[in-house]
Chains A and B, each alone.
Chain A
Amino acid sequence: MVPLHYYLVLSGILFACGVTGFLIKRNIITIFMSIELMLNGVNLSFVAFAAHWHALSGQVFVFFVMVVAAAEAAVGLAIIIAVYRTRETLNVDKVNLLKL
């Protein structure tokens, strides 16, 4: 038996790692991966609460989060390709103008 709060602490740490990566990373692809890490942390707490309260709805919501993550990854990576095509860089510090 593993207590519920162990899962919650693990999910919180994963989310915090995602936030930290989002803030300190300078490569736009790695920033996207940090967002995926945050979504994974949230998913873990969804499943843990679903098991805690014996409600399967939590697991269903994990699927919705996965769909949103997939859509976000597809659109985001397309945006990254478009940005790279016009600016030839992946460093977010150099992408500081809306229009070239």
Chain B
Amino acid sequence: MLHLTLFLVFGAVCLAGAINLLVQRHPINSALSLVAVMAALAGEYLLLGAEFVGAVQVIVYAGAIMVLFVFVIMLLNAGEEERTRGSHIALLIGVPGMLTGSLLIAWVLLHHSGTEAVGIGALPGPPKALAQLLFHDFLLPFEVTSILILIAILGSVVLAAKPEPSQEKEN
């Protein structure tokens, strides 16, 4: 019962943050509601027994990545978003289509999944077991991600660097 209550509380925070992200017009408000979503998701991970994933979620996602977003918002001095009118056909077809699709998926999930309960702490996710898996079975993907990160660092430095003065004159 306690687990269900905690799940519902964290889930409500998640949903409120996600909807607030859509409704808010200033990007900084959207960024802060996204931080709330990520923190609540860390709570859900703790409920699922994935304590290390929850900690990394708070540190990497809610910490590092969102700081990057907020930093860019402040750097570019982003103001309120200007709304443009969308097409009416998209609204007429898209909203009922999305509603039927999501209701169908929810119905299938609620009625046809082997509804075995996920218990709290059923699967201990201690850092030791995760490290065994990550550095033994998934060693190659792990090394590949390090190359990916290296390329991403180089790419962002090249993209965000100021153009050289000689090039600026040509432009």
| Residue numbers in A under 8 Å from B141 (CB-CB) | 64
**How many residues in B have their beta carbons less than 8 Å from beta carbons of A?**
77
Do A81 and B159 touch (CB < 8 A)? yes
Do B44 and A63 touch (CB < 8 A)? no
**Chain A stretch 1-58: residues in CB contact (< 8 A) with chain B:** 1-10, 12-14, 16-18, 20-21, 24-27, 29-30, 32-34, 36-37, 40, 43-44, 47-48, 50-52, 54, 56-57
Do A84 and B76 touch (CB < 8 A)? yes
**How many residues in A have their beta carbons less than 8 Å from beta carbons of B?**
65
A2 to chain B minimum Cβ distance, whole angstroms, is: 5
A30 to chain B minimum Cβ distance, whole angstroms, is: 5
Main secondary structure of the interface of A (DSSP, over half): helix
Do A3 and B27 touch (CB < 8 A)? no
| Residue numbers in B under 8 Å from A82 (CB-CB) | 159-160
In the assembled complex, the Cα of A12 lies from the Cα of B101 at a distance in Å of 11
Q: Which residues of A contact B (CB under 8 A)?
A: 1-10, 12-14, 16-18, 20-21, 24-27, 29-30, 32-34, 36-37, 40, 43-44, 47-48, 50-52, 54, 56-57, 59-60, 62-64, 66-75, 77-82, 84, 90-91, 93
**Top 7 closest pairs, chain A to chain B, by CB:** A71-B152, A1-B117, A78-B156, A78-B159, A17-B18, A78-B160, A27-B81
Q: Which residues of B contact A (CB under 8 A)?
A: 3-4, 7, 11, 14-15, 18-19, 21-22, 27, 30-31, 34, 37-38, 41, 44-45, 47-50, 52-53, 56-57, 60-61, 64-65, 68-69, 72-73, 75-76, 78, 81-84, 86, 98, 102, 105-106, 109-110, 113, 115-120, 122-123, 125, 129-130, 133-134, 137-138, 141, 145, 148-149, 151-153, 155-157, 159-160
A and B contact pairs by CB, cutoff 8 A, 22 listed = A2-B47, A4-B117, A5-B115, A17-B18, A17-B21, A33-B34, A37-B21, A40-B38, A52-B116, A54-B122, A56-B123, A57-B137, A59-B50, A60-B138, A62-B50, A67-B149, A74-B155, A74-B156, A78-B156, A79-B159, A81-B76, A91-B82
